[in-house]
Amino acid sequence: MTMKIGVVTFPGTLDDRDAQRAVRIAGATAVPLWHADANLHKVDAVVLPGGFSYGDYLRCGAIAAQAPVTEAIIKAANGGLPVLGICNGFQVLVESHLLPGGLIRNEAQHFICRDQKLRVENINTPWTNQFELNQEITIPLKNGEGGYIATDETLKRLEGEGLVAFRYLDGNPNGSMNDIAGLRNERGNVVGLMPHPEHAVEAGFGPDTNIAMRSGIDGLKFFTSVINALVNA
Amino acid sequence: MPKIIVEVMPKEVLLDPQGKAVANSLHRTGHKDITAVRIGKRIELHFDRPVTEADVAAAQKIGESFLSNAVIEDVVAVTVEDN
């Protein structure tokens, strides 16, 4: 039986169909989850995709953090359900307090869209177990409010406990503190990052590599990792 | 109409790009004595009955937990108008 991975759609979500496609390419079944429906339909994991949920009103991710489906996800995440937040999904995780800190306007004030090199710094999560520690990967980045910010105390804890999952390499695109691109929670089941793994899952449609144009599929391992974690659970 | 006004400001330490752009514009138009501009949010919570102390306490709580994000913003005032 294939794994069921839920992909949430809020009003204003943009990358839900790409995330569903990534789930399918990785070999699982994508289950669409609707913001107003608190039923998670017995999925084995959840992806909160990118976009501009609720028009970024109030703050990015703030209203989505209060949605019925998010309430159910918070409860399930606290019970160990693997949850991946990408871009706006990362903002939703932060606003839901499933991950600490906040995300503010990019330092240079510009929306940035480019292929971004990252270092995978934590592979003890269901979303990163197929990577090698400190592996360098390239996946697309596209955000206007991706500057990670946290109190000194929180930063110290994140670094001390090894909760930084991804760090920007070759230039910090948005002024994120400590070059943080993504985090995991203490338990490891919740992972959030600003760059977009779901846009780097199929040769011909990913970032350029040394081998060929658009052949980069580093993002696929996020999705094969969670399938691997679920199979071995 | 009774209402509670919740005012939220970006933290002092954070760059406020909107405020900075407005300040630059003011300087260009001759308002040299204005040294800085910072822009926050005024959020009105409307009621069709008189506002109670419990409503204000609830508004303070909503302000801190939902209308602002403590990592980047502060609730600077919760006031009642037209009660």
Closest CA–CA distance from residue A117 to any residue of chain B (Å): 27
User: Residue B10: which of B79, B71, B78 has the closest Cα?
Assistant: B71
Check whether A144 has a pLDDT greater than 80.
yes
**Number of domains chain B contains:** 1
Would you state the structure tokens that stand for residue A45, as one six-digit string? 């994991």
How many alpha carbons lie under 13 Å from residue A214 in its C-beta half-sphere?
A: 5
Mean of per-residue pLDDT scores for chain A: 97
Distance, CA of A60 to CA of A58 (rounded, Å)? 7
Within 84-143 of A, beta carbons closer than 8 Å to B belong to 95, 101-102, 104-105, 107, 109
Of the candidates A66, A101, A109, which has its C-beta nearest B71's C-beta?
A101
DSSP letter at A66 equals: G
Within 39-78 of B, beta carbons closer than 8 Å to A belong to 66-67, 69, 71-72
pLDDT per residue as tens digits for the range B9-50: 999 888 788 899 999 999 999 999 999 999 999 999 999 999
β-pairing, A83-86 with A190-193?
parallel
Give residue B72's domain range.
3-81
Give residue A40's domain range.
4-231
Contact A34, A215 (CB under 8 A): no
Burial class (CB in 10 A: 0-12, 13-18, 19+), A82: buried
Its ipTM equals 0.87
For position A185, which CATH number holds? 3.40.50.880
pLDDT at B57: 98
Q: Is B14 on the interface with A (CB under 8 A)?
A: yes
Distance, CA of A28 to CA of B61 (rounded, Å)? 42
pLDDT at A43: 98
A102:B66 CB<8 A = no
Check whether A92 has a pLDDT greater than 90.
yes
Check whether A113 has a pLDDT greater than 80.
yes
Would you state the structure tokens that stand for residue A40, as one six-digit string? 């998670």
Q: With contacts defined as CB-CB under 8 Å, which chain A residues touch B39?
A: none
pLDDT at B16: 85
Check whether A233 has a pLDDT greater than 90.
no
Check whether A1 has a pLDDT greater than 80.
no
Distance, CA of A219 to CA of A148 (rounded, Å)? 21
How many CB atoms sit inside 10 A of residue A29's CB? Answer: 15
Contact B69, A63 (CB under 8 A): no
Instruction: Enumerate the active-site residues of A.
Output: 87, 196, 198
User: Residue A26: which of A102, A110, A123, A127 has the closest Cα?
Assistant: A127
For position B32, which CATH number holds? 3.30.1280.10
Q: With contacts defined as CB-CB under 8 Å, which chain A residues touch B72?
A: 59, 102, 104, 149
Would you state the structure tokens that stand for residue B3, as one six-digit string? 């209402």
Q: With contacts defined as CB-CB under 8 Å, which chain A residues touch B71?
A: 101-102, 149-151
Distance, CA of A77 to CA of A20 (rounded, Å)? 20
**Number of domains chain A contains:** 1
Distance, CA of A94 to CA of A158 (rounded, Å)? 14
Of the candidates B66, B67, B72, which has its C-beta nearest A104's C-beta?
B72
**What's phi and psi for A186, nearest 5 deg?**
-60, -45
pLDDT per residue as tens digits for the range A181-221: 999 999 999 999 999 999 999 999 999 999 999 999 999 99
The count of CB pairs under 8 A between chains A and B is 23
Q: Is A232 on the interface with B (CB under 8 A)?
A: no
Contact A37, A69 (CB under 8 A): yes
Which residue is it, tokens 């790009």?
B17
For chain B, where are the alpha helices, taking DSSP H only?
17-28, 53-62
How many CB atoms sit inside 10 A of residue A66's CB? Answer: 15
Q: What angle do CA A159, A164, A166 make, to 5 degrees?
A: 145
Check whether A48 has a pLDDT greater than 80.
yes
